[in-house]
Chain A
Amino acid sequence: MTGSGTNPLRDPQDRRLPRIAGPSGLVIFGVTGDLSRKKLMPAVYDLAHRGLLPPGFSLVGFARRDWENEDFAQVVHDSVKEHARTPFREEVWQQLSEGFRFVQGDFDDDDAFERLRTTVEDLDKVRGTGGNFAFYLSVPPKFFPLVVQQLKEHNLADPAGDSWRRAVIEKPFGHDLKSAVELNRIVHQVFEPDQVFRIDHYLGKETVQNILALRFANTMFEPIWNRSYVDHVQITMAEDIGIGGRAGYYDGIGAARDVIQNHLLQLLALTAMEEPTAFDAQALVAEKIKVLASLQLPADLGRHTVRGQYAAGWQGGEKVRGYLEEEGIDPNSGTDTYAAIKLGIDNRRWAGVPFYLRTGKRLGRRVTEIAVVFQRAPHLPFDTTDTMELGQNALVIRVQPDEGVTVRFGSKVPGTSMEVRDVTMDFAYGESFTESSPEAYERLLLDVLLGDANLFPRHQEVELSWQILDPIEEHWAAHGRPEPYTAGTWGPRAADEMLARDGRSWRRP
């Protein structure tokens, strides 16, 4: 009697109907934290506003704070009002707020987890969530083992029937290969590997997803996307802020572990990988793993890796402190706030093409970009003086801010007899598409609820990334200290020298 199987109202030709998550709920651990208030709660509201959450969707907060459901609702309300991307609408709020619950407790408190279980069971009855829950661990990594163990012990991690239970974890995924393997082992004991979603919010960004569209939906880029035409690739993620209130987390971790291990190596993988056989999680992971596995460290780590630490200076008209003077930082700290490394990829497409990755805090401005720099033309039929100002052609994918794609090429200067100068051709998202595209967390949360793992790094990728970074970190630990650089500049001089040795220079993003 039950009409299961295909839904008669769904039609692949009917492209207006959006993907709506099935009945489900989201449990956030560490719900009082910054990430939860600034990103997760607004993302949940924005999804509801766009009509992408199922009726009955429920949000459960778990934290130490002594709150009632109403207090929790008020906090969500304030965070939505302040941070949501879409306008506040009463009826959307009403739909959402009926499903808010708060569970008070510590992570080692068995009673609290019992209460969480009854809350979840109650939601199945009252809101029809169907036993489908995602557990978002927005907590420091040292609590991961405890929380997943508690979920297991209180029967929260085992789905009944055809329902699902998923775990969502945030970086850092360990601090070296050993700890990453251990963390994965602990989580996989409780949740199936394909039910664990690792958030790398960069992968939720439209511009990052567009790398794949740019490369594999067009014909004009892929033919030159190889060692025959590409001279080198620069991947930059620069921040203008210091460490702010993250001293406890950041000191001892540093820029390379914080950013290169996850974001930059993921961007590298997407830029360099071969075409996947299909646009699904399995095929994408297979290609990304191939690239990460063929990454090659430079022979001389001392000459081709650089680390730095910001010193006091002026940043955008504001006097700022140096890293060692920041609150809560050991004045002798050897933590890197800037890291630049050179990597090679040992395969037919990329052999001999260096990939330069750099990241840092308190740099010139906040920017993330991937620049594919092409070789010079093998022969120029012009006089050398005519092409003095001609640089290398480049294709720059601007990930944030001012998302878009820039192409740099030479053009004749009008009026002169023949003088060629670099010009840019620009594509900006803001000009051609929606003024405000979905936030990364919106996309990623929806994908978690839909069970779509395309945009989430798998544990193999995490482990491969650590294999690359571990030798560099070991080398740094054994040799010297990070070179200081003035806040507000583009990093230590050693980084410029590193590229100068190869006859190249960093782009000014």
Chain B
Amino acid sequence: MNIDLTETTSAQINSALVGARRATGTPAVGMVLTLVIVTDEGNHYDALKAASQASKEHPSRILVVIKRPGRSPRERALARLDAEVRVGNETDTGETVLLRLHGELAGHAASVVLPLLLPDAPVVVWWPEDAPENPAEDLLGRLATRRITDAAACEDPVGALRQRATAYAPGDTDLAWTRITPWRSMLAAALDQRHATITSAVVEGEEYNPSTELLALWLANRLGVPVERTASPGPGLTAVRLVTSDGVICLDRPNGALAELAVPGQPERHVALKRRTTAELIAEELRRLDPDEAYAHAVAYGVERLAPAGSVETGAPAAEAAVGTEAAGAGAGKQAAPKKRPAKKAASGTQPPSSAQGS
């Protein structure tokens, strides 16, 4: 059931929601959260589609805030709210309201959203593209227990990660982080087995892919060893190599779907590691709504502290014999190596000034 409301208010939208619910015969619905999507006219379709699919797993009230500040001074001076209420459609399980904020109202989205939030239920705000510099201080962000951004959709993904680190507040999370959960869980499973001490690591992936950086940051933070990020044609992340004195633990995914896990002393095995859709990412995000401390630690580690290109030696995966000897060499100097490298990095001069202060 669709209800169009023009030049409306939040109160009228609320009564339209109640009316629509009565009309479709489902007076009590178990919606578990309110999802606010902040977007623009051009992007709202894809975002809403992903959120609707995710709502199959998490029935929610979805509020799509579409800002239309207007181009001319006359349009900007005017303030108007148009709304489209969708209840009981086959595509989504909860309720959806598209809010079009014209003119001056575009700057006061929180005043429209606040009365439409579900009582008691948690609020999640998702910016599919351009997120505010400081999501937790944003007027809409303040209403939320969970704030989802996407560094991959930014003009400067790596810069966005730096910004996220400085502005981090509990409840912040980023889809670039969500994308690497399967990688992280597979790597953690690989290290559940007995393995030699890890001395360094390489994360290889497409350029302008902040997930690659985040995975490298997480590894560097958790393992306490130099981690290098190298570029490949993609798609997305293509490989992680953990260098141990016994050889290289390598998780290699050249095609974006099926990966190969190689662990020294064990047979090579295939692992399904498919790139996931936005709907799956959002569904994972909504599964837990408490602050993600693992993300906080990873992003706070600092992109500048990753090892410079070429500083970590793993050799090509094909030349296995060579890898063994090189790695053994690295292992012999293992005690000194991790301490030396940051110094070398600071001296290399290729880093932005902030890194010198950081390290």
Contact = CB atoms under 8 A, between A and B. Distances in A.
A380 interface: no
Contact of B274 (A4, A89, A428, A435): A89
A48 interface: yes
B294 A3 contact: no
B288 interface: yes
B126 to A, nearest CB: 17
Contacts of B29: 431
Given A89-B272, A435-B57, A2 B196 contact: yes
A325 to B, nearest CB: 43
Contact of A55 (B269, B284, B293): B269
B184 A22 contact: no
A482 interface: no
A2 B194 contact: yes
A278 interface: no
A426 B187 contact: no
Contacts of B160: none
B344 interface: no
B222 A8 contact: yes
A55 B187 contact: no
B267 A128 contact: yes
A10 B192 CA distance: 9
A23 B272 CA distance: 16
Interface stretch (A12-20, A174-182, A369-377): A12-20
A55 B274 contact: no
A390 to B, nearest CB: 21
Given A9-B222, A89-B274, A428-B30, A22 B192 contact: yes
Interface in A413-463: 426-428, 431-435
A272 to B, nearest CB: 28
B288 A1 contact: no
Nearest to B188: A9
A219 interface: no
Given A55-B189, A91-B272, A3 B196 contact: yes
Given A91-B258, A428-B30, A17 B245 contact: no
B266 A7 contact: no
B347 to A, nearest CB: 28
Interface string B206-242: 0000000000000100111000000000000000000
The majority secondary structure among interface residues of chain A is loop
B284 A16 contact: yes
Given A16-B184, A16-B288, A435-B57, A9 B223 contact: yes
B195 interface: yes
Contacts of B93: 431, 435
Contacts of A49: 272
Contacts of B190: 55
B153 interface: no
Interface stretch (A92-100, A199-207, A242-250): A92-100
A475 interface: no
B185 A51 contact: yes
Nearest to A23: B193
A9 B258 CA distance: 22
Contacts of B186: 20, 51, 55
B193 A94 contact: no
A91 B292 CA distance: 30
B125 to A, nearest CB: 20
A432 B57 CA distance: 8
Interface string A290-319: 000000000000000000000000000000
Given A435-B56, A435-B57, A9 B191 contact: yes
B279 interface: no
Nearest to B255: A91
A127 B267 contact: yes
Contacts of A98: 269-270
Contacts of B290: 15
A383 interface: no
Contacts of B184: 9, 14, 16-17
B189 A95 contact: no
A15 B284 CA distance: 11
Interface string B9-30: 0000000000000000000111
Q: What 4 A-B pairs are tightest by C-beta distance, nearest first? A: A431-B30, A14-B294, A432-B30, A91-B258
Given A3-B196, A8-B191, A434-B56, 10 more contacts: A9-B188, A9-B223, A11-B294, A16-B284, A17-B181, A20-B185, A89-B272, A91-B257, A91-B273, A95-B272
